Amino acid sequence: MQKNVLCDDLGEFRRAYDLGKGVVAITAHCGCFEMLLHYFAAQGFSSFAIGKEVYDRRLDRLVTKMRSGPNITYIYSSENPRAIIRLSKEGKLMGALIDQDTKVDGRCSRIFWAGWLIRPPLPSSGDAL
């Protein structure tokens, strides 16, 4: 994985993580962002990812497998929000995609919006493989 992922010095990040209060890492929804989870897990950072359940159970199992692994917990966005609080209190890293504008149960579930992007991203209707 080291040859596929280029990363700046993680010293500051590690100091924040070592405080044990949880860390939020913000990234764009581009490239193979799932690899970031595995990269951070390989560096010893316990993390968690949040995603929408895929309508097709076979695809859902595949996506869950890609977003899970040693040192990685995967939860559905439909689960109780207290799971996010609990995992954060455990000191885990949470990754956030800043350019998603999706609807869940008819409500906008946008958490972050990247207004600085040159071209606004198209809304996602689900996970793409």
Yes or no: say if 35 and 1 are a contact pair by the CB < 8 Å rule.
yes
- HSE toward the beta carbon, residue 100, CA cutoff 13 A: 22
Q: Which helix (H) or strand (E) holds 14?
A: helix 11-17
pLDDT tens track for 79-126: 888 998 899 999 999 876 655 555 556 655 554 445 544 555 555 545
| pTM summary value | 0.68
DSSP-based three-state secondary structure for 46: coil
pLDDT tens track for 31-57: 677 788 888 899 999 999 888 888 899
Q: Which helix (H) or strand (E) holds 107?
A: strand 107-108
Residue type, 49: A
